[in-house]
Structure 1
Amino acid sequence: MTTFDFDLVLRARETVTPSGLASRSVGVRDGVITAIDDFDSDLARRAERVLELEDDEVLLPGLVDTHVHMNDPGRSDWEGFSSATRAAAAGGITTLVDMPLNSIPPTCDVDALELKRAVARDQVHVDVGFWGGAVPGNLGSLRHLHGAGVLGFKCFTLPSGVDEFPCLDAGQLRTALREVAEFDGLLIVHAEDSDVIEQAPGPEATRYDAFLRSRPREAENRAIARLIEEARSTGARVHVLHLSSSDAIPMIRSARHDGVRLTAETCPHYLTLAAGDVPDGATQFKCCPPIREEGNREDLWRALADGVIDIIVSDHSPSTPEMKHLDSGDFGLAWGGISSLQLGLPVIWTEARQRGHSITDVARWMAEGPARHAGLHSKGRIAVGADADFCVLAPDETFTVDVHSLLHRHAVSPYHGRTLHGRVRQTWLAGHPITGPWTTSSAPRGRLLSRGDR
């Protein structure tokens, strides 16, 4: 009986590694990368199975998306663990981190976390971790959630949109930061100032420019400035969610230079769409904070290139089509959330390549960076000791988005009809194919992740 050193070896003329793009053979055993060598090394002769990529394909680490609303349990008619993780797998994503809202109950105590894990356990097609929530009623017990394995804590500085997940006022934000600083936790913050928004003109039905004025940049800028000062005084680790206002970039840069423990993310829709391109009444484009002007978009790209913005994540925030009010096109009534989980990689790659960025840049922003942000040290890299999670991408292949072919629960997306570069042809999780021609089973293979996992 032949004994093999590897369960699988993948050979690719272009492999994205932490040191750049290279021609490599990658050996896998028991779901972990155990060897990386030159393309023409003898690894393949020592493997039970060998996958050699086509000449037009690139081997990337499986992507990591740390900002996803799966809404399960309680609002699984909006999305659900099964549909969200199937869409993720189709988009080359092998790890998701679930937001503590809009599920019912929200993940604000250990019982709610255990319920969410029980519901997810047999449904997830990719690996899934969980954020906890920081709300007025649980600030004294965040340590318990931390101990139960959440990766950090999300809070809002203005109403969240669902009553069961209230926002923190200035004093409560300070209390939360002091609490997480005691055990070196992480607070991730939806930073918009409610007073600024209350004083802004309201949205006017179908007009996108009116909706944009109702969520001004100053709301983000003021909330981020306050967050920076509180982080400076408490020493806590903080993360700015879904940055849309480029005006905040200089203060983020300055704070980090001063040693404030601050990171920031942005999202595909802020990097690829512009306010001037959003038709009136097209509520599939509504999100909060909103899609802003073209110049603002280009400033966000420059901040990514400079390293001021750390990562790109989806903020996949779906709802039922009825909640988007697609019939009336009323931006004031519509749910604010973009559905794009399956499309993040081709959407970003299409725009990145036009600006001279490489596929290694994209992998850093969408795989390695998000894994580091969430403390998932075995994810996001093709490196010895990392999980054998891979995305096989054909970067030059184009396709036109048909919203009805997407795998998230409802056929709503602002990218319908757009032509994109970059087709995900295969996705591998822990050394097993979960999409593509080698896949032999549609059964869920994902694991549930906790803080401190390998």
Structure 2
Amino acid sequence: MSQVDLLIRGGRIVSPDQIIEASVAIDGGRIVAVGHDDMMPSARETLQADGLYLLPGAIDSHVHFRDPGYPNKETWKSGSAAAACGGVTTVFEMPNTNPATGTVEALRIKQKAAESSYVDYGIHGLLGDDTIDRLEELLDAGVTSFKAFVGNTFGNLPAPTDGALLEGFEKLAPLGIRTVVHAENSSIMARRQQRMEEAGRIDAMAHLASRPAVCEIEAIGRVLTLAEWTGARVHIAHHSSRDSLFLLRDAKRRGVDVTVETCPQYLLLNIGDMTRLGGILRLNPPIREAHHNQPLWDALVEGVIDMIATDHAPHTPEEKSRPNIWQCDCGFPGVETQMPLMLTEINRGRASLMDYVRWSSVNPAKAWGLYGTKGVIAAGAHADIAIVDLAREGVLSEGKLHSVSKISPWNGRVVKGYPLHTLVRGRFVMRDGRLVEEAAGWGQSVKGVQRMPASRPRNVESYTSNILETPAGVPPTAAPSREAT
């Protein structure tokens, strides 16, 4: 083998199954060899990683970079810089921007904004009543996946009707495309909020009271029913409650293709923190009671919850600090703090580093059709690597965040375990804990390497597209099984 671009020597490479000491050779943006140092080729540059761990770069399925429409909250450049400094090498960005990513024209605006990204990215298109006829067009134009806001959140995009959700799943099931779902019952939440506002409830705990766990239970059950009927792939965003885990566990046992994410805030925070921090902690779904925390950890270990995401949702400090909880924007930045928060828990023995790699990289890569190219440190894969010092201690500071949003519930939290270097396709985007500013624009869409597994549509004879084509007076053919023929 001729001389390569970079050789990382002396590190410990982490996979879901093992940790091995090996060197990694990188050339042309890809890993070309992993093995004993004596077997490695010469390199134009060498990084000595003694005592450090090499993790596949984190893949965050859920970020809001607010661009276009809200540059006062975030931009692609600032949000992706935060990702790079958090050991995150790929993000999937949400469609509730302005304009919402529900037309090709809006998508083109977002793709232009994404040209400043430090990290690779996917773009979730909007699944709503008025976008159903444009789903294939959006896919052809570059979206990787879709998002349905079944529960109300920032941007006030109307929740899709159940009919539109079913028809959207019918269109996407044969294509094998996964849809992210914000699963809360909008009708319950709207009525409860109105009732509390009329009663003068503007305190922080009113937000939780307006979005009880039954909202999540009902919406997840509804989404799973439609997904199972159609054979569509779905992804439950920001899972927050222990009470709906049984639905997910049972659906997975039946073979429903559902993946699930939770976030550090639901694992580590509860209403005690809400009382202390007020509007800073207003987000959707809400921070819940302490009895939800451990069951979510248990569900991660069990595999009912597949992955860690952040729901990185920045706002300005002024938008988060209003005395009336209903006037505080929902969400806070998280893409830069996820890895040190989770590594701290790994250091405490709550799970293994191998578990963390499964949750932060391997399972997201599999869910979005990227595994093999991303999510693994192996020959042929993209050289997306977070090089981590598990022993490094520090204190998280909102003032040091690379996000435009300088307000965080994690401010002042002591952590142990940091990413020191982040590589995206072989290029340093963070080095020695500092952003490599000239790497802005290095990120690219993952659309070109995305390969979803074969689809398994079901009950195709009942799809809207088929019943519209059935001649008058002729019933649709009843298939002997629920599998597509």
**Which TM class, normalised by the smaller chain length?**
over 0.9
Moved more, 214-223 or 340-349: 340-349
Cα deviation digits, residues 201-224 of structure 1 (max 9, x gap): 637656333321111000000000
Cross-structure match for 1:134: 127
Deviation at 1:81, TM superposition (A): 0.5
Q: How does 1:25-424 map to 2 (within 5 A)?
A: 25-38=23-36, 40-43=37-40, 45-55=41-51, 57-101=52-96, 103-121=97-115, 123-163=116-156, 165-200=157-192, 202=196, 207-280=203-276, 282-324=278-320, 326=321, 328-377=322-371, 378-424=373-419
Whether the 8 Å contact between 1:140 and 1:179 is mirrored in structure 2 is no
Cross-structure match for 1:16: 14
Separation in structure 1 between the aligned mates of residue 428 and residue 177 of structure 2, nearest angstrom: 34
Whether the 8 Å contact between 2:343 and 2:418 is mirrored in structure 1 is no
RMSD, matched Cα: 1.9
Separation in structure 1 between the aligned mates of residue 435 and residue 191 of structure 2, nearest angstrom: 54
How many residues align structurally? 444
Whether the 8 Å contact between 2:183 and 2:220 is mirrored in structure 1 is yes
Whether the 8 Å contact between 1:97 and 1:129 is mirrored in structure 2 is yes
Partner letter of residue 27 of structure 2? R
Separation in structure 1 between the aligned mates of residue 206 and residue 112 of structure 2, nearest angstrom: 43
Cα deviation digits, residues 125-176 of structure 1 (max 9, x gap): 111221111111110221111222211110111333324x321022121111
Structure 2 portions without partners, runs of 5+: 451-485
Deviation at 1:42, TM superposition (A): 2.7
SS of the residue 2:402 aligns to: coil
Partner letter of residue 382 of structure 1? I
Separation in structure 1 between the aligned mates of residue 448 and residue 20 of structure 2, nearest angstrom: 31
Structure 1 portions without partners, runs of 5+: none
Deviation at 1:22, TM superposition (A): 0.6
Whether the 8 Å contact between 1:265 and 1:309 is mirrored in structure 2 is yes
Separation in structure 2 between the aligned mates of residue 147 and residue 235 of structure 1, nearest angstrom: 22
Name the CA shift for 1:441/1:320 in 2 (closer, same or farther; >3 Å): closer
Q: Decide which structure has the larger Cα Rg and report it.
A: 2
Separation in structure 2 between the aligned mates of residue 307 and residue 329 of structure 1, nearest angstrom: 40
Partner letter of residue 447 of structure 1? G
TM-score by length of 1: 0.93
Which residue of 425, 440, 447 corresponds with 2:443?
447
Whether the 8 Å contact between 2:347 and 2:390 is mirrored in structure 1 is no
Cα deviation digits, residues 37-58 of structure 1 (max 9, x gap): 12x3331x52222211132x21
Separation in structure 1 between the aligned mates of residue 276 and residue 11 of structure 2, nearest angstrom: 46
Deviation at 1:300, TM superposition (A): 0.3
SS of the residue 2:283 aligns to: coil
Deviation at 1:341, TM superposition (A): 1.4
SS of the residue 1:223 aligns to: helix
Whether the 8 Å contact between 1:346 and 1:421 is mirrored in structure 2 is yes
Partner letter of residue 428 of structure 2? P
Cα deviation digits, residues 6-51 of structure 1 (max 9, x gap): 211112342113542110111111010011112x3331x5222221
Fraction of identical pairs, as percent: 33
TM-score by length of 2: 0.87
